[in-house]
Amino acid sequence: MAEKNDSPGSTSTSTGHESQPLLSSFITEIVKSPINLVLVGVIALLVYKIVKSKTKIEEPVKEIKKLPQLRRDFTLEELKKYNGKGPDGRILIAINGSVYDCTRGAHFYGPGAPYEVFGGKDISRALAKFSLETSQEYDDLSDLKTGEMESIREWEEQFKEKYDYVGRLLKPGEAPTNYSDEEDEGSQLENETKSKND
């Protein structure tokens, strides 16, 4: 009769019998230690998140219709009409005397958005004071502190980079600038720079 050799160097032809004790000893080791149970739970959670993220159906991106660019100055009363609730959905926001077309930021400033209250308004003081309250009247901002004015200028720079400049917010009784069709933003900026240097 042949003897069964269980020495480490020997090979056995019956792998089915050896894998079962190996699997049961593996499960026993996991169950014995609370740390191993936690690690198995974390691994299972990570695998679940990875699989779920790959099978997640992405919502279609809401297409923002391209509107013709505006180029004009606004009074506070005229600005109120551009709060995103009009027929074209245009959103204009004034900061520090400049008006920007924020229509492409409708997910921030449009109807139902977190900052809906800013649409069609001068938000300079609100940004300076870190508030959602906006003024219904023209605000010359003369009573703001230096730090608050610096905050407004920083916000204005962000809006310049992100949104299209439309025109100026007019003081009561101020006449609007006549922007010609041929004039582009580059030549407008050159003229403003020249007038500041003179």
Is 60 a residue whose pLDDT tops 90?
Answer: no
Give the neighbor-by-neighbor strand order of the sheet with 164-168. Answer: 92-95, 98-101, 164-168
Q: How confident is the model at residue 180 (pLDDT cuts 50, 70, 90)?
A: confident
Is 17 a residue whose pLDDT tops 80?
Answer: no
Beta bridge partners, 169, equal 74
Among 190, 163, 180, smallest CA distance to 72 is for 180
Q: Taking each helix axis as running N to C, give the angle between helix 15-32 and helix 34-55, from 0 to 180 degrees, rounded to the nearest 10.
A: 100
Higher pLDDT, 139 or 145: 145
Is 192 a residue whose pLDDT tops 50?
Answer: no
- How far is 192 from 172, CA to CA, in rounded Å? 22
Residue with tokens 């703001």: 144
Please give the full DSSP string across 128-188, using - where no structure is assigned: HHT-S---SS----TT--HHHHHHHHHHHHHHHHHSEEEEEBPPTTPPPP---SS--HHHH
Query: How would you class 123 by CB atoms within 10 Å of its CB: exposed for 0-12, middle for 13-18, buried for 19 or more?
Result: buried
Q: Show the tokens assigned to 83.
A: 């709060």
Is 62 a residue whose pLDDT tops 60?
Answer: no
Residues 99 and 166: beta-carbon distance below 8 Å: yes
Q: Show the tokens assigned to 179.
A: 């922007």
What pLDDT sits at residue 122?
Answer: 92
Least confident of 59-63, 119-123, 175-179: 59-63
For the domain made up of 76-172, the CATH class stated in words is alpha beta
